[in-house]
A and B are shown apart, each in its own frame.
Chain A
């Protein structure tokens, strides 16, 4: 006995823990909020349908994340924040990860098509393909618009949730899709501003590396303007009421305040990393609370 107590779980992560980590559960939790909340905004789903859509959505997004880790295995090894993932750390082989990701996607497609509806399954699968081929395979390493266009992959969940309840799509569903789409740039560019060295080392053309910090901050402001308009549009249509309006106004004001704080700090040559971290973290809360407000508002006015 050396007297050094090792935590066996931390020292040798189990296969199960690695499989879970391949799905990026923390990211998926937000995707599930933007899937389930639209279900309640669209109608009155049964608990079983919510559970089925959640499981199908988790597996589809988890599968996409696993395939993403397979494709990005070369750059994951040179970026500090991804170096401990199962492939670069040698705990899993690339082919195992690819097989797991594809299997998750196939099972999710079958589950959603069999027990929910074909449109829901098709939309979820479209999100998978978009993330894997358009974002990871094509745009991530070739364009500073990578997370803008690639953000569409993360915008599929509201369509999935809406289609699961209504069996169709309408202007409110499209509006929700665009809300997530236009939310993505200010969210990810806040992180990209902070992780420029990492992205540069991996030769990923994130906006701050291509356009510079100041232009990226300006772009964050313009994307936030469109995001705010889109979040208020459903109120104009009468889809959501006072509770949602007040929530959206407060949440949007805080987000725009944070984004402007980053820009003004940079303009005044003051430290902007603190405000950028705040924007990155707060934007996660912003999106989750915005979608929760949609669901609660509809539940109260129904």
Chain B
């Protein structure tokens, strides 16, 4: 299951790329989470659409992080080092 491309990469590079990927996802996820705190209070009360509940919104944003953690743990164990 290992490709020629990955085998040719030194383990230190693979590790560095992996942690860079983790860092990119953490930063992006923090910005996604920030929107829940930043935008809900400014929702106009006159809006036609229902007002989302803040705690539930936080839950919905945090939930996919579990999937990301699972895939990164699985990926770390499977890294061809």
Question: Among the listed A182, A210, A225, A241, which residue makes an inter-chain contact with B43, where contact means beta carbons less than 8 Å apart?
Answer: A210
A positions within 8 Å CB-CB of B: 139, 141-145, 148-149, 170-171, 174-175, 177-178, 181-182, 199-201, 203-206, 209-212, 215, 218-219, 222-223, 225-226, 229-230, 232-233, 235-242, 245, 301
A residues near B64, Cβ cutoff 8 Å: 148-149, 178, 181-182
B residues near A210, Cβ cutoff 8 Å: 39-40, 43, 47, 49, 52
Q: Does B10 contact A (CB under 8 A)?
A: no
A residues near B38, Cβ cutoff 8 Å: 215
Question: How does the 8 Å CB contact mask read for B1-43 relative to A, with 1 for contact and 0 for none?
Answer: 1111111000000100110010011011101100100111011
A residues near B1, Cβ cutoff 8 Å: 238-239
Determine the distance from Cα of A238 to Cα of B1 in the docked complex, in whole angstroms. 6
Determine the distance from Cα of A40 to Cα of B60 in the docked complex, in whole angstroms. 33
Question: Among the listed B3, B48, B56, B57, which residue makes an inter-chain contact with A200, where contact means beta carbons less than 8 Å apart?
Answer: B48
**Does more than half of chain B's interface fall in helix, strand or loop, or is it mixed?**
helix
Q: Could you tell me the distance in whole angstroms from the C-beta of B77 to the nearest C-beta in chain A?
A: 8
> CB distance A229 to B49 under 8 Å?
no
Would you mind naming 20 contact pairs between A and B with Cβ atoms under 8 Å apart?
A139-B60, A143-B60, A174-B74, A175-B75, A177-B67, A178-B68, A181-B64, A204-B49, A206-B49, A210-B39, A211-B39, A215-B35, A219-B35, A226-B68, A229-B28, A233-B71, A238-B2, A238-B3, A238-B7, A241-B5
A residues near B7, Cβ cutoff 8 Å: 238
> CB distance B67 to A229 under 8 Å?
no
A residues near B57, Cβ cutoff 8 Å: 143-145
Number of A-B contacts (CB under 8 A): 132
Q: Could you tell me the distance in whole angstroms from the C-beta of A156 to the nearest C-beta in chain B?
A: 13
Determine the distance from Cα of A178 to Cα of B68 in the docked complex, in whole angstroms. 8
B residues near A182, Cβ cutoff 8 Å: 64
A residues near B39, Cβ cutoff 8 Å: 210-212, 215
> CB distance B5 to A209 under 8 Å?
no
B residues near A171, Cβ cutoff 8 Å: 71, 74-75, 77-78
Question: Among the listed A142, A219, A233, A236, which residue makes an inter-chain contact with B50, where contact means beta carbons less than 8 Å apart?
Answer: A142
B residues near A204, Cβ cutoff 8 Å: 49
B residues near A201, Cβ cutoff 8 Å: 48
A residues near B40, Cβ cutoff 8 Å: 210
Determine the distance from Cα of A203 to Cα of B49 in the docked complex, in whole angstroms. 5
B residues near A174, Cβ cutoff 8 Å: 67, 70-71, 74
Determine the distance from Cα of A148 to Cα of B62 in the docked complex, in whole angstroms. 11
Q: Could you tell me the distance in whole angstroms from the C-beta of B11 to the nearest C-beta in chain A?
A: 12
Given A174-B67, A225-B27: 14 more A-B contacts, CB < 8 Å: A139-B60, A141-B50, A177-B67, A178-B68, A181-B67, A182-B64, A200-B49, A210-B39, A210-B43, A215-B35, A223-B32, A229-B21, A229-B28, A239-B1
